Amino acid sequence: MQEQSAGSFFFQGAVEAAIAAGYRHIDTAYSYNNEVDIGKALCSKTKQGIIRRQDMFIVSKLWCTHHAPEDIPVCLNKSLKDLQLDYLDLYLKMGDELFPKKDGKMLTCDIDYVDVWRGMEALQASGKVKSIGVSNFSILQLKRLLALCRVPPAVNQIELHPYLVQTDMIEFCKSKNIALTAYSPFGSPARPPELFRGDTDPHKLLEDPVVADIAKKHRHSPAQVLLRYHVQQGIAVIPKSDKPHHILENTKMFDFSLTEEDMRALRGLDRGWRACIADCCSVSQNQVSSILPLCLRLPGEWREQTAHWIDEYHKHQQASDQLHTVCCTCSITHCNSSVPCLHNNNRI
Q: Can you give the CATH number for the domain in which 258 is found?
A: 3.20.20.100
Give a yes or no: residue 129 inside a domain: no
pLDDT of the residue at 337: 34
Number of domains in the chain: 3
Backbone angles phi, psi at 253, to 5 degrees: -125, 10
Residue 322 has pLDDT above 50, yes or no: no
Q: In terms of DSSP bridges, do strands 281-283 and 324-326 run parallel, antiparallel, or are they unpaired? A: antiparallel
Give a yes or no: residue 1 inside a domain: yes
Higher pLDDT, 302 or 60: 60
Torsion, Cα 226 228 233 238, to 10 degrees, reads 70
pLDDT of the residue at 101: 61
Residue 248 has pLDDT above 90, yes or no: yes
Give a yes or no: residue 183 inside a domain: yes
Please indicate, yes or no, whether residues 267 and 293 belong to a single structural domain of this protein. no
| Start-to-end Cα distance in the chain | 42
Give a yes or no: residue 253 inside a domain: yes
Q: What percent of the chain has pLDDT over 90?
A: 61
CA distance 72 to 122: 10
DSSP 197-238: -GGG-GGGGGG-HHHHHHHHHHTS-HHHHHHHHHHTTT-EEE
Please indicate, yes or no, whether residues 158 and 267 belong to a single structural domain of this protein. yes
Q: Which helix (H) or strand (E) holds 183?
A: strand 179-183
Q: Which helix (H) or strand (E) holds 283?
A: strand 281-283
pLDDT of the residue at 220: 98
CA distance 201 to 166: 16
Give a yes or no: residue 301 inside a domain: yes
Residue 347 has pLDDT above 90, yes or no: no
Range of the domain at 306: 278-348
Amino acid at 124: Q
Confidence band, pLDDT 50/70/90 cuts, at residue 62: very high
Give a yes or no: residue 325 inside a domain: yes
Residue 133 in 3-state DSSP? strand
pLDDT digits (tens, 9 = 90+) for 88-132: 999 999 875 544 566 766 666 678 999 999 999 999 999 999 999
- Comparing 175-189, 305-319, 329-343, the range with the smallest average pLDDT is 329-343
Amino acid at 19: I
Please tell me which residue in 32, 91, 163, 229 is annotated as part of the active site. Answer: 32
CA distance 171 to 148: 21
Full strand arrangement of the beta sheet holding 88-94:
25-27, 57-62, 88-94, 129-135, 155-159, 179-183, 236-238
Residue 346 has pLDDT above 90, yes or no: no
Higher pLDDT, 292 or 89: 89
Dihedral sign, Cα of residue 220, residue 223, residue 225, residue 230: negative
pLDDT of the residue at 302: 45
Residue 6 has pLDDT above 80, yes or no: no
Q: In terms of DSSP bridges, do strands 105-106 and 101-102 run parallel, antiparallel, or are they unpaired? A: antiparallel
Would the pTM count as exceeding 0.75?
yes
Known catalytic residue: 313? Answer: no
What burial class does residue 127 get, using C-beta atoms within 10 Å of its C-beta: 0-12 exposed, 13-18 middle, 19+ buried?
exposed
| Residue whose C-alpha is closest to residue 94's, from 56, 57, 141 | 141
Give a yes or no: residue 104 inside a domain: yes
pLDDT of the residue at 310: 46
Among 242, 276, 310, the domain-final residue is 276
Higher pLDDT, 198 or 78: 78
pLDDT of the residue at 50: 96
**What size, in residues, is the chain?**
348
pLDDT digits (tens, 9 = 90+) for 180-236: 999 999 998 888 888 888 888 899 999 999 999 999 999 999 999 999 999 999 999
Residue 343 has pLDDT above 70, yes or no: no
pLDDT of the residue at 106: 62
**What average pLDDT does the segment 136-141 reach?**
94
Give a yes or no: residue 124 inside a domain: no
